[in-house]
Structures are given as structure tokens and as C-alpha cells.
Structure 1
């Protein structure tokens, strides 16, 4: 929070009571009035009060994606992103099936349809294979519970037939009964909805995922003569809209590669130089898997990327790699419809995460390669229509460690002309008085720059950064107690006064160094939300103004 009190023409306003106090009372004689008399009063005024709480600095300057505060006020920066996911529809889909066939006169002689006394029965059996438009190249499916499946049968014949065609399959079952349907031979097109059926497929490698369909023609007396071996009737079978509720069996090996995803880390964005050395950073990978099959994960393109674009690989035995792949937990065959959860925690003990964060990265890059059933056909698999697999990353940066970095804390509007509207040469002496109270466990080397409307630096308050000493733990409770630094007065010479006369802004910079940073090893400190820094800024000076105001 920044509180600045606007003091328009404060020097002149404060001059008025001083004039009354210094006037010598005598009889007024206009002829004796000297309009060129020079008056040199002394003036003093507050310029502003600045109060920064650590929580506000982090929110306003660093723009974190998330900040978690413990019950005691300890701060953790948290960045979370989904880096990979896929659905069942991306894993396995089935192609529509088209099959043409006929039921022939298998007699060695022509069949006179008008002479049929008893029903003439002829059959034809086909086996069609379920193949996928998306998914593994090879599967051995035991069974499918359909969410939708439509069978369309189109009949045609060169003869005027009387009878029925029964279509059935002993492997398409619902409520314990095999599916069958009857079509009059006089029909052209019939369709059947097989939603909610269980299809039991046959597998005899290399012939796999087969479904038998039996066509049984029962022919009554009709018209025409069918030559031996010729079709009595022809049919067109279409199997469409194939989707599943559940699939059981061996679902094959499938490789899925996800291009690198960028994971932004905004904590370092406002750091101009240096870095924060995190003592206990963690990068957690969370896996959610409702596919009932083993999935192997390998991390690729796993880098910390600096704001300059330089890459530092994140490595370690705990990072899934071709040498150390990770099999993610998955639901067993008795857990159909459930989700299995798994996680991987990367920290400085099992990776080079500490060194990676030393580069003050602006982002972290993730790539993921997955492989299903990496050990082959040794497990019974399942998937449901709602199965999904996802990987989320969470970077946790507890504000516990040591630091040495420069930070631009804030920008304050400061229009010099609002404070003094007369020519700046009337100011003969100008000094800024500053009082700092530091409630942070950091030495702050503070600097304030005056800039013009284009943020070009005109001058600074300090010739070199001013040390604001760090707070210290006085009572042993683990938290630092605020310390009031000695007041400091900065005298502005003529040149500096002229330099800032066109100022429009004050830029606040600080080089922050944690307590005992120079120790070996450096001392680690913790940061809490109630830590703060205060600054009271005042100004004193002398002006020289002739009594005519000129």
C-alpha cells in the first residue's frame, strides 16, 4: 500500500505564516515600500508515507498464480498446470463394417421355387473383425458391452421370394439370451439397435476380435428357378455407430507423445538481477488414471528455461526416463469405473531442482511419452467410455532460503510541478529526510529514481544505494521483529534540484540480501505475511522569493 499526500505548492503555502511572523509592525508609508526585498524563509513538509506488506509485494509485483499461507503466516508460492491428458475416445475407436454376401442354391440341380413343398432352409455364416480407426495396432478383445451399435441389413433378389431371413449370433448376448432377428424376404432394408448388449469375441491368432453372424433363410413356395450354385438372394450388412461402455481383454501397445508444454513460473519475473535460493522446493507430478491397463511414463524436454531462453535440464534418478521409466498405478479388473491416483515428488534430494531454480526460470518445459502395456500381453485390461488419463504438475516454492537479488518494488506518481509551481531556481536548498522501519529479514539497499513521463531517469535520491538494516528475531519465537533504522537526510545540490524539476514518477528499487547471506553456508530464513517495511519521506528546504512574487 502506498499513501502519498499531495501538497500543491507546499513551499509557498508554508511561507505565508512565516511572513506574518517575521513582519515588523510600523506605520504604513507607500512611498517607502520596496518591492524588491528578498525573503529567505525555511520550510519543512511531509512528502509521503509508504507501507509495504510482504503479501502485497508478492501479489502486486510478482503476480503469482497462487499463494498459500499457512496458519502461522508462512508463505508458499504454488504454480499448477495440467501438462497432459487423453480420453478413451482418443485411445480406441472402431471402424464401421460393411459386408456383402449371398445365400446360394447349394443343390447340384436348379431349384424350382414353385415346387417347394416343405420350407427350404439354407444358411450362411460370416465372421467379421472389429478393427480400430484409432488406437493400438494389435488387440485381443475378450468382450465389449455396447453403448451403441446399429446393424443394418439390405436384401435383394432376382426372384419373387416368400419366406424369412433370420439373423443371429451366439456371441451377442443380452440378459442371458443370444441376439436374433427375423426379416421378411420381401423387405428391402431393416435396422437393429444393439445398445447394452455384451459381445463376446473369438481370438485365435492371427485371427482376432471376430464376431460370427449367421444368416438362416427359410424359403416357402415362390416363383422362379434358381440355377445350381447361383444366389437365391443377396444381402448387404452394415455395422455402424460402434461405441462401448466397457471393453475387456488385451488392449495392446500404444505410444502417445505429447509435445513440450510450457509451465509458467512468474515468481522471478520482477527480479532484475540475482535469485532466491529455495531451501525446500518441490515439483510434484500427479497422475489420475481410470484406464485398466499399465501405462509407462517417460519425461522428455524437461527443462528450466531462463527468461533469456537458456535451458537447464532437470535430471535425477527419480525423473522418469528411458533408463528409469515409471509405471503409473491403474485400477484392477475389480475396480472398473474407479480412478487410480499416483504421484511423483521431485526435490533437491532426488533431482537437480535446486540448481535448476538457481537460473531464475521464467518457465518449466515438460514433454511426456507414454506406452500402454509395456510388458506385452500379460495383463487383462479394460477401458470404459469415461476412462481418462491425466498428468498435472505443481511447483511449490516455500519462501524459506537465502537470497540476493534486485527488485523493482513500485512506481509512484510524483509531479514536481504539483509540489512547487514556481521556478525551481527559487529553491536554494532542498533536503529529503527518510525514516525506515524494516520488518523483513533482509538488508535492503534502497534506491529511489526520479523519472520523466517516459520513465527516463533524471536523478536519484541517493548517490549510492542506502542500507536499510534487516529486522532480527529479538524474542526467539522464530519470527523477526521490526527495527527502526536511524533517520537519514539527503541534501540536494543545485544540479539535482534542477534535474528533478520535470519529474513525473519515482521508481523504487531495492537490492535484497537475507540475513547472514555471506556466511558459509548462508543462513536460511523464512518469510511470513505480516512482514513489512515502512518509509516516511519528508522534505526541508529554503526558498528565495522576492516580495512581488517575481
Structure 2
């Protein structure tokens, strides 16, 4: 509750309406006789304040209130902590390594001798993730495959190549027919945009990439030390859209997540104690990745003035399941409860500057041979959801506020006002108590007068449905009114706390509770 705002409203209602309505109405009565001092009483203000009015989140707010079955109000809080995109994992899996860097070597032939084959199959070996993870297919956004025919210098040759494991964007196998290498033209490059790569792999070998080769080679050199006819293959610059296969088991360290909270303590140097009743606080993982993982917390807590304090009651390891194959667009939801007896409320009451979460993923922690999928559009959302009954204990909080209040217009009224009396009746259903005082100050912030003769005390309700009632009178004489015309600022102080907070009592806030304020003004006027 923002008590500072309500203090301003109450004080302005106490002073200004009396001056500008009561006096203006009666100072010019034509039949009034000298030295007659009538007293006038007028209702000034009446209003109700409820928790639903005080707590009005924006439409897109992550917080809202609702009454439970027992009538106790609950504060609901839902907030995403972080969103992990699969691109971050793909870059860890692929890095900048070549996917394929292998070659085919054919028999050397001397001058005038030829060899040929209409169709021979060769198995090349893929590098990078495909060795350890046994991925069997990739859908590509982009990529390059390059053939370099190192035969043109010592051989006359012609080649036809078909790649049965690699398709273009139309689903056709990559192929070349009757290619004749020359000094100027011995390399061929294919753009693999929107292509698909199938991979033959096993537990005992790297991924196998098959090349179907037809060739006709004739030697043209008399040198006996020439190189064998060779074709080199390279695949690189891959941008993967999705991958299917056995990713295996491995760990990925995450960068720490820092969530900014309080840049400063809104209560200054005050130290408060907040003791929540039975809060339900859950960590949620909404997972679209096609593999299960465990998340190991290395840090979860708050940072205050450079010092880290850990949140207790959080499991050290969390297992997050994956959506099944064929349900690629779905999310699995994994929920873990923070122990209600954790120190979260005590840490939060210190107004920490940041929350930090750090840890690492363990992919396929229970079965490294599980079949998985990953897609570039997949995400994993970490989220916190809290259901906090408004049953708590709060030690005293002081709120100080200074606002502009110009009462120079009293100079035209001071001769007519003999006395202002204001009666404030307060009915308080809330189980908190309030001590309040306000001061009138000049332009140099020198105190001219106080609003109340002494700080007022607003009682807190001790029983459900039975409000505590307070009746407060304020008198301002003509001499005090003359002093107040120099007022430029209003300085207010308020201290509030839950009932019997020092004894450790937990109090409840109900949906029907409210604060009713009725103000009546009396003016004694000289005509």
C-alpha cells in the first residue's frame, strides 16, 4: 500500500475545503451583526479504501489478487525468468568445425593406361557433432559442399557423382554428370540452402557419408612419382534448422542470469522483518527441446551490496522431460516447489539489488542412447509462479514524504477565521496499525506547525468483521492560521506495522476488509 499518497489526500481534505467553501459562503451575509460568531459544521469527505482499490495492477501485470475459499486474499505472481533458445545449444554442438573433410583416392595409372567404373560406392567420415552424438539427419537453412578434383595435371579424367545422403531444397539428390576437371575449373561448389542430410552412424564409428562415383581416368604423365588421382570433399558453414538422432550425454555451462531488482532500499536505512505464512512458490520449466535434461543449480539467490545469499529450499538438481517425437510444437511443463519454510521472505525484505541464477545442463542424464530432436525455433522458458496468502507479519515501516502545499491564500481569510475544527472518523478492518504526523514548513523547510497536536494512532482490527474505530480532532486557531499562510511544503511521516508484530503473530487479510474515512469540518467565523 502506498500510504504516502493517501496521507496527502487526507490532509488536503482536512484543510482546503473548509477554508475555500465554508468561509466563502458565509463571510458576505448582509444581515450579519458584528461580534456574532456562528459555528458551521459541514461534511467534508467520506470514502472507503479496500485492498482491491489499493492493489490495481496494469492489464498486462504479472500480479493479481483473488480471495481463497477461506476468504483470505492471495497475491498471485507469475513472471518469466529467462528464455533459452536452441541456437545457443547448436552453437555449442557445432562450433566452427568442418562437418566433412575427407577424400577419395583412386589407383595411379601410367601414361596411356586407363581405368573406369560406372558406379562405385565410397564411405566418407563426418566430423564434429556427428561422431559423438550419432545424429542421423539434419535439415539445413544453409551450408556449402565443395568437391576438388586433383587429377587435371597428370590425368585426363571424367567424373559423375551422386550423393544419396544429401538432397537439395527440391528433395533431389545432389549430383554432377560428366565433369571434366581442368587447371581453370577443378572445383565444384553446391549451396545447401534448405537441404537435408542423412547420416549413417553407429556406436562404433563416425557418421558415414556415402558417395556414388562413376569415373574414367587415363594417365598422361611419364613421371613415375606423380600423385594418385584424388577427389577431396568438404562441407562447412552449416546453419542447422533441425537435427534428429542420438545426442548422447554431455554438459553445457550456462552464463549466469542476473535479474535487476532494487537499485536502492525504498525505506532508506530501515531494517524490516517480513514473515510470510504459507507461501506456495514454484519454479517452472516449459521445455520445447526434443531432449530431456537435468539442471544443476550452482547458484540461486540474491545479491545485496556485492554479497551473495543463497535461497534455501530449492532442489539442487531438476529433471526436465522432453516432448515426445512427433509432438515437436508442444511444451512439457515441469514444476518444482520451493520449500515454504525457505528464507526467501527474509532475503526479500532486505531489498536486494539483484537475483542471480547459475548452473549447467546435463543432456540425456538418464539415457545417453535416447533418440532426440532439436529445432532452431525451439525454446525453453524458466518461470516463477507464486501464490502468497496475505497472512504475514511485518515489523514497523516508516514512510517520509515531502510535497508542495502553498497556503498563501489564507492571508485574505485570516481576519474572518477564528477557529477551524476538523473531526476524522476512521473504521479500520485491516489488521495493521498506523502512527502518523504531518508538518507545515516554509520555503526553507523550517517547521511552522504540525497538523496534529501529537502523532495520531490508528488502531488495527483485532477480530474479523469487527473494525477498529478511531476518532481524531484537529483545532487550528486564528493565530495558527496566520502562521500557516507562509506554508510552502507539507512533510508527512507515517509508521505502520501488522498487529502484534513484535510478538510474532501472523495476521490475515480478507477480501472484505477496508478502511473507511469520514471527515467533518467546523468553522467559527467572525463577520
Which of the five TM-score ranges fits, normalised by the shorter chain?
Answer: 0.7 to 0.9
- What is the aligned partner in structure 1 of residue 315 from structure 2? 320
What SS does structure 2 have at the residue aligned with 1:55? helix
CA distance in 1, matches of 2:249, 2:39: 86
Question: Equivalent residue for 1:21?
Answer: 32
Deviation of 1:22 after TM superposition, in Å, equals 1.4
Q: Which of 371, 388, 402 is the matching residue for 1:397?
A: 388
Query: Unaligned regions of 5+ residues in structure 1, if any?
Result: 24-38, 474-478, 546-550
Q: 1:106 aligns with which of 105, 108, 126?
A: 108
- Structure 1 partner of 2:343: 352
Inter-partner Cα distance in structure 2 for 1:16 and 1:279? 57
What does 1:305-384 correspond to in 2, within 5 Å? Answer: 312-316=309-313, 319-321=314-316, 325-331=317-323, 338-349=330-341, 351-357=342-348, 359-361=349-351, 365-373=355-363, 375=365, 378-384=368-374
1:397 and 1:491 mapped to 2: Cα distance?
Answer: 43
Given candidates 158, 161, 165, the residue that maps to 2:160 is: 165
2:75 aligns to what? 77
Structure 1 residue 56: Cα displacement = 3.2
Which secondary structure state, in structure 1, belongs to the residue aligned with residue 346 of structure 2? helix
The 1:304–1:218 alpha-carbon spacing in structure 2 relative to 1, beyond 3 Å, is closer
Matched, 1:67 2:64: yes
Question: For 1:288, which of 273, 286, 289 is the aligned residue?
Answer: 286
Q: Map 1:235-274 onto structure 2 (within 5 A).
A: 235-242=231-238, 243-262=240-259, 264=261, 269=266, 274=272
Cα pair distance change 1:376/1:16, threshold 3 Å: closer
Structure whose CA Rg is larger: 1
2:132 counterpart (136, 139, 153): 139
Q: Residues 115-264 of structure 1 correspond to what in structure 2 (within 5 A)? A: 116=114, 119=116, 125=122, 127-131=124-128, 139-148=132-141, 149-155=143-149, 157-158=152-153, 161=156, 163-168=158-163, 181-186=175-180, 188=185, 189-191=188-190, 193=192, 195-204=195-204, 209-214=206-211, 216-219=213-216, 224-225=220-221, 227-228=223-224, 230-231=226-227, 235-242=231-238, 243-262=240-259, 264=261
Query: Secondary structure of the residue that 1:166 maps to in structure 2?
Result: strand
Report deviation, 1:67: 2.1
> Where does 1:376-525 land on structure 2 (aligned, <5 Å)?
378-385=368-375, 386-406=377-397, 408=399, 414-418=405-409, 420-422=410-412, 429-451=419-441, 458-471=448-461, 473=463, 479-482=464-467, 484-486=469-471, 488-492=472-476, 496-497=480-481, 499-504=483-488, 506=490, 509-517=493-501, 522-525=505-508
Aligned length: 494
Partner residue of 1:526?
A: 509
State the distance in 1 between where 2:337 and 2:353 align. 19
Contact 1:281 1:354 in 2 (8 A): no
C-alpha distance in 2, partners of 1:162/1:261?
62
Q: Secondary structure of the residue that 2:24 maps to in structure 1?
A: helix
Post-superposition offset of 1:166: 2.2
C-alpha change, 1:17 and 1:517, in structure 2 (3 Å) is: same
Question: Alpha-carbon deviations, 1:88-142, whole Å to 9, x = none?
Answer: 22112433446475655424xx1316xx5x846797946343315xxx9x83314
Matches of 1:480 and 1:294, distance apart in 2: 52
CA RMSD of aligned residues (A): 4.5
What TM-score results when the alignment is normalised by the length of structure 2? 0.75
Secondary structure at the residue paired with 1:371? strand
Counterpart Cα distance in 1 of 2:172 and 2:107? 28
TM-score in terms of structure 1 length: 0.72
Structure 1 241/155 Cα, relative in aligned 2: closer, same or farther at 3 Å?
A: same
Q: Deviations over 1:280-335 (max 9, x none)?
A: 223221112233444232334433566x777643213xx133xxx23233345676
In the alignment, which residue of structure 2 is the partner of 1:277? 275
- Larger displacement relative to structure 2 (279-288 or 50-59): 50-59
SS state at 2:289 partner: coil
Following superposition, the deviation at residue 534 of structure 1 comes to 1.3
CA separation of 1:105/1:326 partners in 2, compared to 1, >3 Å: closer, same or farther? Answer: closer
CA offsets per residue over residues 492-536 of structure 1, 9 Å max, x none? Answer: 467754553333454555433434546x55252223266233141
